[in-house]
Amino acid sequence: GAGVSQSPRYKVAKRGQDVALRCDPISGHVSLFWYQQALGQGPEFLTYFQNEAQLDKSGLPSDRFFAERPEGSVSTLKIQRTQQEDSAVYLCASRRFVRESGELFFGEGSRLTVL
Amino acid sequence: AQKVTQAQTEISVVEKEDVTLDCVYETRDTTYYLFWYKQPPSGELVFLIRRNSFDEQNEISGRYSWNFQKSTSSFNFTITASQVVDSAVYFCALSEAEETSGSRLTFGEGTQLTVNP
């Protein structure tokens, strides 16, 4: 597709379950970001990839959160032993270049609800 | 640390009114970028504008205009003759210039704009 694609769009998990959220960035985009958006809040940075290298994971809230982008294209955000406070929309974004010289394109997000 | 403040949580106007969304930012960087994004109910963030810290010229695009003032660290967004389709959450954001962070964005908390017919 032409845009950033995320799946699943909606995920309901029981507390303690593991979840995996997928992001297909725009083809050829070097930079990939994950953001977490709680209800009524602005997106908050989780992690950044430049191709397959995870250069910044300072925003990951705990060691239960793990992200990878093994071949420099598709990325997966994994949350282990989900907690209720993990309920949020997880947004993926990609940019063609590394530096701020191009538009950042966002997907529609994956809404996670932890019961 | 960078910070973006959008003091207006919700704004409600009647169609055809003008409306201004406020944004105030904090940064120690001398080079930075400011953005506005629109988030309709579908959830996808739609890019509206990017300005760099060296360009203080105001910009107009159709019914949209932006007023960037470094002296007050503000980057306000005005919609002229608002329409129902403008109803959405609007986010102001600031990006760092560091390569290791990929110029990641710091977002404000957003302003929910409702335009009533």
Which pLDDT score, from 0 to 100, does residue B31 have?
A: 85
Each residue's pLDDT tens digit, B93-102: 998 766 556 6
Q: Contacts of residue B47 in chain A, CB cutoff 8 Å? A: 103-105
CB contact under 8 A, A48 and B47: no
Which parts of chain B sit beneath pLDDT 70?
97-102
Each residue's pLDDT tens digit, A68-110: 999 999 999 999 999 999 999 999 999 987 765 567 899 999 9
Mean pLDDT (whole number) for A14-35: 96
* Mutation to test the A interface, candidates B52, B89, B104, most A Cβ within 10 Å: B104
Q: Is B47 on the interface with A (CB under 8 A)?
A: yes
CA angle A70, A74, A76 (to 5 degrees): 75
Which pLDDT score, from 0 to 100, does residue A50 have?
A: 92
